[in-house]
């Protein structure tokens, strides 16, 4: 029993370390550590139960692999902050990599250590697989993780497409891992099939990450376009404010002449009334203050001006604090896009003759 717990602890701990590398943490460190601890217990206990009470090697291998896959899936779903489509793809990709490394460890041990007893063989394969994990994790951290983390899950279709392809390969790898455990003496005959599947899957991953890079560049271009539109709106707002300021400066001398004439006549009440009207006019031409956040306020002013120019009556309320944790680029990407769609939609309604829409 002790040997089983120790040998099953190898893959459980390895999985947890890989999860920590791959998963964008959704909860606090304590909650995440608790999830990983429960995962360790479930993984080890289920594997030990299958190995102890399993009726056949084939049943033990298949049950252990399926249970490990299901538990890993729930860990990804619960602990990761990524969108669902992205979490599913990462989970199935990790399970595929585990199956490949498990298959490679079985091949290596069958060639170089063919006469080991059952316990010794379990230790040898676990240690070999763990050693194979080291360069694999390094490659992921060095080259793949920055690309994967930089891609959002907004476009679900590409993620689900590559997930479906990865699932087909998982079926192949799962069969090979199961056979390698259940029929250890003859599974070497399936090695060519395994090698072909690994090469094909590696090619698919190459194309997949090429697609992901393309998606990344596309997202960046969309963000650049949104920022250009936002800056163009800000430029239009600045131009209009400058024109209004020039008008105010042009009329300022005339206002002073009128005040001087009133005061010379001793008509103080008329002069005060004139000053009040002038202050109200200044309040009308100044930029509206919708919220304390500078970027959000600028975006709202831009689209408020655009709506007014289009004859659209809008009511704006915002309570975004000045120290909001959301990045300015995210505000531009999300808020500008939403407001742009709203203004365009109202323009279309007016063009169709739906003039009863005012807000």
Are residues 161 and 51 part of one domain? yes
Q: Is residue 250 part of a domain?
A: no
From the list 27, 128, 144, 146, the residue with the least C-alpha distance to 77 is: 27
- Listed in sequence order, the residues at least 6 apart from 347 whose beta carbon sits closer than 8 Å to its beta carbon are 310, 312
Q: Is residue 189 part of a domain?
A: yes
Are residues 72 and 195 part of one domain? yes
Q: Is residue 259 part of a domain?
A: no
Burial 286-321 (b: 16+ CB within 10 A, else e): eeeebbebebbbbbbbbbbbbbeeeebebeeeeebe
204-252 pLDDT, tens digit per residue, is 878 877 776 776 677 777 767 766 776 676 666 666 666 666 666 666 6
CA count, 13 A, side-chain hemisphere, 63 = 17
- The DSSP-derived string for 183-201 is TTTTGGGGHHHHHHHHHHH
pLDDT at residue 210, rounded to an integer? 75
Q: Is residue 61 part of a domain?
A: yes
CB atoms within 10 A of CB 180: 25
Q: Is residue 248 part of a domain?
A: no
Are residues 184 and 69 part of one domain? yes
Are residues 200 and 89 part of one domain? yes
CA count, 13 A, side-chain hemisphere, 214 = 8
Chosen domain end from 211, 245, 271: 211
Task: List 80's β-bridge partners, or say none.
Answer: 25
**CA 333 from chain center: how many Å?**
14
Could you list the residue range(s) of the whole structural domain that residue 335 is in? 289-359
Chosen domain end from 211, 237, 271: 211
Are residues 146 and 8 part of one domain? yes
Q: Is residue 271 part of a domain?
A: no
Q: Is residue 220 part of a domain?
A: no
Are residues 120 and 10 part of one domain? yes
Q: What are phi and psi of 320, to 5 degrees?
A: -65, 120
Read off the tokens for 337: 């896009």
Q: What are phi and psi of 69, to 5 degrees?
A: -65, -45
Q: How confident is the model at residue 136 (pLDDT cuts 50, 70, 90)?
A: very high
Chosen domain end from 189, 211, 233: 211
Q: How many domains does the chain have?
A: 2
Are residues 303 and 156 part of one domain? no
Are residues 84 and 198 part of one domain? yes
249-291 pLDDT, tens digit per residue, is 666 667 677 778 777 887 778 777 777 777 666 655 556 677 8
Are residues 207 and 317 part of one domain? no
Q: Is residue 240 part of a domain?
A: no
CB atoms within 10 A of CB 7: 20
- Listed in sequence order, the residues at least 6 apart from 190 whose beta carbon sits closer than 8 Å to its beta carbon are 176, 179, 180
- The DSSP-derived string for 24-38 is -B-S-HHHHHHHHHH
52-81 pLDDT, tens digit per residue, is 776 777 777 788 888 889 999 999 999 998
């Amino acid at each position: 029993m002790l040997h089983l717990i120790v040998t099953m602890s190898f893959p459980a701990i390895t999985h947890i370390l890989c999860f920590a590398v791959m998963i964008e943490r959704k909860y606090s460190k304590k909650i995440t550590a608790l999830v990983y601890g429960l995962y360790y217990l479930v993984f080890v206990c289920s594997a030990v139960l299958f190995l102890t009470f399993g009726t056949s090697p084939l049943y033990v291998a298949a049950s252990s692999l399926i249970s490990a896959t299901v538990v890993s899936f729930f860990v990804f779903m619960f602990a990761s902050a990524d969108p669902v489509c992205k979490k599913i793809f990462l989970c199935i990709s990790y399970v595929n990599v585990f199956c490949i490394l498990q298959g490679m460890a079985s091949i290596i041990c069958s060639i170089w250590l063919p006469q080991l007893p059952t316990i010794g063989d379990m230790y040898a394969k676990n240690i070999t697989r763990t050693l194979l994990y080291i360069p694999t994790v390094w490659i992921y951290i060095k080259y793949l993780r920055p690309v994967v983390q930089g891609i959002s899950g907004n476009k679900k279709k590409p993620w689900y497409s590559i997930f479906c392809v990865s699932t087909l390969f998982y079926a192949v790898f799962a069969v090979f891992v199961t056979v390698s455990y259940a029929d250890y003496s003859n599974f070497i005959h399936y090695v060519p099939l395994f090698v072909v599947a690994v090469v094909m899957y590696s090619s698919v991953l190459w194309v997949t990450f090429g697609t992901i890079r393309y998606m990344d560049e596309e997202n960046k271009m969309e963000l650049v376009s949104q920022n250009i539109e936002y800056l163009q709106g800000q430029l239009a707002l600045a131009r209009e404010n400058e024109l209004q300021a020039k008008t105010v400066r042009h009329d300022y001398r005339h206002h002073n002449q009128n005040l001087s004439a009133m005061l010379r006549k001793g008509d103080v009440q008329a002069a005060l009334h004139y000053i009040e009207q002038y202050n109200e006019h200044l309040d009308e031409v100044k930029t509206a203050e919708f919220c304390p956040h500078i970027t959000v306020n600028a975006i709202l002013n831009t689209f408020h001006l655009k709506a007014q120019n289009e004859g659209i009556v809008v009511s704006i309320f915002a309570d975004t604090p000045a120290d909001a944790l959301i990045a300015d680029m995210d505000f531009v990407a999300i808020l500008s896009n939403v407001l742009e769609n709203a203004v365009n939609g109202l323009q279309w309604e007016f063009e169709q003759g739906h003039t009863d829409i005012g807000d």
